[in-house]
Structures are given as C-alpha cells and as structure tokens.
Amino acid sequence: MLQIQNTGFFILLLGVLVTVHELGHFLVAKACGVKVLKFSIGFGPKLIGFTKGETEYQIALLPLGGYVKMAGDLPHEELSPEEASRGFLAQPPWKRGLIVLAGPAFNLIFPILIYFFVYLGPHQTTSTLVGNVSPGMPAVAAGIRPGDRILSVDGVEVRTFNDLTDAFVGRFGRPVPIVVDRGGERRTIQVTPDKSVETSPIDTVERGQIGVSPASRAAIVGVPPGSPAEQAGLRTFDRVLAVNDVPVQDEGRLHHAVSKHPEGTPLKLTVRRLDTVAAGVVTGRVPKVLEFTVARQAGEGLAALGAEPADLYLASVAPGSAAEKAGIKAGDRVISINGEKLHGFHQLAVRLNALKETPFTLVWRGEGGERTEKLAQAPLPTEDGMGTKSAPLALGVRSWMVTPSDVPPPDEVTVHLGPGAAFKQAALVVPTIVGQMVKVIGGLFVGSVPLSTVGGPIMMYQMASKSAEQGLDSFLHLMALISINLGVMNLLPIPVLDGFHLLSAAWEGIRRRPIPVRVREVANMVGLALLILLMLLAVTNDVTR
C-alpha cells in the first residue's frame, strides 16, 4: 500500500511539472496564432484523451515528460495553403523565441505561486529564545544566558532563529549591539562575533558566530570535589527538576529560577538520579527522585548551586582502552589537551579526531586530584548490533548520554504572513534558488560539484516519497526546487533542449538567416548523445545509491 502511495506522489510530482512546462509552450503558441495539433502529458501509447477544436489532448503511458505538437515544426513538413501561415517555422523569429521560452519561463514562475501558498498564513517556526550558550564563545563573554530572548541585532528586528542567523551575515570582528529580553526586562548587550566562513559548491558566506543555539540543554550537574554541591549530597549527572518547587525544564529555566534568590539563600533542589543496576549480564539505569538543600552561591545557573556543567565529566571508560591503561576512570573530568583548555566534550572529540595516533598531553581531574599524562589513541575492538567487528583508533571515553526526555523541544513562535508579504518573500526566494542552481550546474561542468550528485528517476521517486511523509509544505518545496531545476536546465543552449531552439531563433533574428540545416542536424546528434550520457550517469548514480 505504501509503495502505491509513493508511486502516486512521484507521478503527481512529475505530472504537475510537465503540465506546467508544456502549458507554457501551448498557451503562447495559441496566442501567437500557431496551430497546435496535440498536447500530451507523458510519452508512448495514449491512455486517455479527447479532442477539442483543432487540438488533441492526451495522457500517455510514460510519465517522464510531455510534448506539444505544433503544425509545421519540422523543416520538410507540408501544410495546406490556408494553414501555411499558422506553422511554427513560418513564424518570425521573435514569435518562435517566445513560444520556446514560455516552457522554461512557466517552470520558473510556477515556484513563485507554490511558495506564495507555502508562506501565506500562520506558521510555527523556531524562535530566538536562547536554549544553549556554547562555552568559550563570544556570547559567554558578552553575558548572554540561556533563557534570553534576542529581539534585535544591530538595530535589525529578529523574530525567528533563521532571522537571527541571517542578521549576522557580514557582521563580525566588531562589537554588535544585541537587544535581549531577560525575564521581561530589555537589555542591550555588546557582543563581538567570531568570523565564520561557510563554503559549499554553491556559495561562500561570511557571517558572524556568537555561539548560541535554540536547542536547550537539561540542567545536568557536574560536581567538583569539595564543592558546596558535593557537601549538599549532589552527584555528577544528577538532573535538576525543580528549584524551590519551581519546575526547571532546562538550563535557561534554571538561570531564571536561581536569579530570583540572593546569595546565601537556601535552595531546595529536586533532582533525578539514575542509578546503575545489574541483572545478570544486563545493566541498566533506574531513576529516582531526591531532594537536597544547598545555599545559593555566587554566579549564575549551575554555578549558583556550587556545581558546573557536566559536559566534560566522563560517563564511561572502555575496558582495555588507552584511557583505562592511563588510569582514567568514569566520573573524572577532562581539563585540557596539549595545553588547550577544553570547554566541552565535542571540542575534545574534534581534537582527538584530528590527532589520530599522534601522542598528546591530557590533563584530567580524578579522585586523587589533577593528573597529566602523555597518551595516544589506540585501536579499540568493538562490535556493533549486527555483529560486525572493527577496531577504530579511540581514547575510549564517553560523555553522559542524554535521554530523549532530557531534551526539551525548541521554543516556537507563530509567524503570520499576509498575501502581500507572502508574495514578496516568494518573489525573493525564487531568484536566489535560481542563482544557486546556475552555480551548481556550472560546478558540474568545471568539476567543483561531483558528478555523483546527479540523480535520475529513482532519486526523484525517493525524494518525492520522503518529502510527502514530512508534510505538504515539504512536498511543495521539493516541487518548486525541481521546477526551477527543469526551467534552468531547459535554458541551456544544448541541442534538443529549449535553450538551443531559443538560440536558433535569436541567431536567425540577428543574422537574417537560419542556422544551416547540416549544422543543426550535427548539433542535434551531439545534443542527443549528451542527453543519453547524462541519463546513463543519473541512472547509474541512482542504482549505486
């Protein structure tokens, strides 16, 4: 049943796009007085059809294209004297150019209509509520906290996280004023973004990066030895659920909850602790809820509890690994690597990945205090769930694995666009995508975009199925992208494509004579060969995938 449904979405996708393309040729040909003999969606044997006026309309068996058959569109085709003036080749070059251009033009205009309906009305999207602030990034130095809602960047209002990201394009290396809402109070914060260069085969974008994300983190504590948190009974990896009976869903709510209390105030903490239990050879974690009281400390967030983030505390050390042989144990905290202070486990993983088997100096803190050792990653035998064995280079340590229930969904905001705003946004996004598509096609010719990215019917079938599963907006977005792709591709001056016919009409309009028949015949053979090679490449890539 699912296979039939996916096939239906695939046929719908192709059918609509082919109809739009051929409708462009058809309507403009009619407007120019050219006789249209047949309008076909699909190739091959006719499935259904009817004749109205002088035109036969049909749906054919193979839904991989379509065509508009016009009278007199072949050089040696004979027409009756009364219809000779209505033949395609009998038209002046400018009319033939318009008819040819109409198909790709409709494919480029149609996405504006699609995006208009996608953007029109209310939509839920990720807001500018800061869920997480990356350690060591400019946002930390500027004092931005989880739970702050960013309202504007350098005077530019932002409502969604995409707006926020776009606002930092070209803004880096200088102080940028950011207005945030913190607990109902507006504050202006100066932050100096780092420069980030995002390079792809399509484009290179330079933007500022301050280190905030909408994905919030659960308030999971790391407990240093001798700290007020340890003295109160907290353990590393306890998750704070409430402060003085006020629910705490994430670090942002924790910041807000502790900020209401002056230093020295007793704070009643409700925490969830996962104790490891063993049942035979199987181990698991059993949750239990506990309560502790700790005096409010100086600082914000976890620091106000006398604790710190748990990100650099090690949840497990693999038996027989380089880490275990060096004396590293679960619960130890990593401090630095090769003299570079670490701010998060991801930073450690990136450094280890780059070092491979090269020795490095690691500083960590355990029960006996800080230790410094010279280490090197070593092959660590592993076996996945399918029984496949491997031995990748690894240090053999893991951070705390957050459960899905520990990750609150990002905050969302409703954005409502009226007809005017929806049309404006649609009219702006389509030219941008066209420009990106042109760069991709150019990259295929010069080699900066790999040929393995070319896809055919199987890839399109998979994309149609997947986008349909994700919802109507995703399916319409895919339809718009493929329509733009068809429009741009058809404008290429390759024989048998619309672009070559447009070039021929322009040539005749300028030179006052058509391209020689022999040149046209050779060009058509070369163009057909190129298209066959492209189709073979696309199908080969599809099968390989």
Report the candidate in 310, 315, 331 with the shortest Cα–Cα distance to residue 221: 310
Radius of gyration of the chain (CA): 32
Which of left, alpha, beta for 53 (phi over 0: left; psi -120 to 50: alpha)? Answer: left
Burial of 311 (0-12, 13-18, 19+ CB in 10 A): buried
3-state secondary structure of 178: strand
Structural contact between residues 154 and 167, judged by C-beta atoms closer than 8 angstroms: yes
Q: How many CB atoms lie within 10 A of CB 63?
A: 20
Catalytic residue chosen out of the listed positions 22, 308, 324, 383: 22
Residue type, 31: A
Structural contact between residues 224 and 188, judged by C-beta atoms closer than 8 angstroms: no
Distance in angstroms (rounded) separating the CA atoms of residues 173 and 199: 19
User: What does DSSP assign to residue 202?
Assistant: S
Distance in angstroms (rounded) separating the CA atoms of residues 113 and 23: 15
Residue 269 neighbours by CB under 8 Å, 6+ apart: 232, 234, 240, 242, 243, 291, 292, 293, 294, 305
Q: How many CB atoms lie within 10 A of CB 523?
A: 18
Q: What six digits make up the tokens of 132?
A: 């997480």
Distance in angstroms (rounded) separating the CA atoms of residues 47 and 176: 64
Using N-to-C axis directions, what is the helix angle for 472-490 and 93-119, rounded to 10°?
Answer: 160
Please indicate whether residue 308 is annotated as part of the active site.
no
CA distances from 396 to 9, 184, 250, 316, 322 (A): 46, 45, 29, 8, 6
Q: How many CB atoms lie within 10 A of CB 58?
A: 17
Beta bridge partners of 180: 150, 187
Ordered DSSP codes for 258-305 = HHTS-TT-EEEEEEEEEEEEEETTEEEEEEEEEEEEEEPPSSSGGGGG
Residue type, 159: R
Please give the helix or strand (H or E) that residue 354 lies within, else none. Answer: helix 345-355
| Residues annotated as part of the active site | 22
